[in-house]
């Protein structure tokens, strides 16, 4: 099977991984049951992401592409906080959509959904209180 197409008759799927900070989202898109999005073992998007802004953020790439009603999406999300999980899910869905329809790549790339946001918390250095914050220094 060619990974760039979803074959409706065989029930095949397309899979992609999205990341943000320490969150990882593995997404499978199938053409079998249309328009459903389930996260971590069957939870709906509204049950998993309680805040509406996070629900919208997670489904932004679907809304931009207009393919929301054509695919059934199942996701497994691990690590990080709830906000970075929503962004990781958006990244993974955007990657799946470009595999299914390469013509969507231009629009999704322009919105920044295909770029992996690599910003993460800087590590703490020894002798400092945080990554860059030093203890108070006195001259005398």
User: What pLDDT is stored for residue 3 in this prediction?
Assistant: 46
- For residues 84 and 24, the answer to whether their CB atoms sit within 8 Å is no
Is 122 inside a domain boundary?
A: no
Counted domains in the chain? 1
pLDDT tens per residue, range 56-68: 999 999 998 887 7
Q: Which domain holds residue 86?
A: 13-111
pLDDT tens digit sequence for 82-129: 999 999 999 999 999 999 999 999 999 999 999 999 999 999 999 999
Position 65 in a domain: yes
Residue 136 resides in a domain: no
Sheet with 37-39, strands from edge to edge, namely 13-20, 23-30, 72-78, 37-39, 43-44
Does any domain span residue 5? no
Question: Residue 140 falls within a domain, yes or no?
Answer: no
What global pTM score does this model have?
A: 0.84
> In CATH, what number is assigned to the domain containing residue 104?
3.30.230.10
Query: Do residues 97 and 62 make contact, with C-beta atoms less than 8 angstroms apart?
Result: yes
């Amino acid at each position: 099977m060619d990974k760039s197409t979803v074959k409706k008759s065989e029930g095949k799927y397309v899979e992609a991984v999205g990341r943000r900070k320490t969150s990882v989202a593995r997404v499978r898109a199938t053409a079998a049951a249309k328009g459903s999005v389930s996260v971590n073992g069957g939870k709906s998007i509204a049950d998993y992401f309680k805040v509406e802004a996070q629900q919208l953020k997670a489904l932004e790439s679907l809304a931009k592409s207009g393919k929301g009603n054509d695919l059934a999406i199942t996701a497994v999300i691990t690590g990080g906080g709830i906000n970075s999980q929503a962004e990781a899910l958006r990244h993974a869905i955007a990657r799946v959509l470009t595999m299914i329809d390469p013509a969507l790549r231009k629009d999704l790339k322009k919105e920044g959904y295909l770029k992996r946001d690599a910003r993460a918390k800087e590590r703490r250095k020894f002798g400092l209180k945080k990554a860059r914050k030093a203890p108070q220094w006195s001259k005398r």
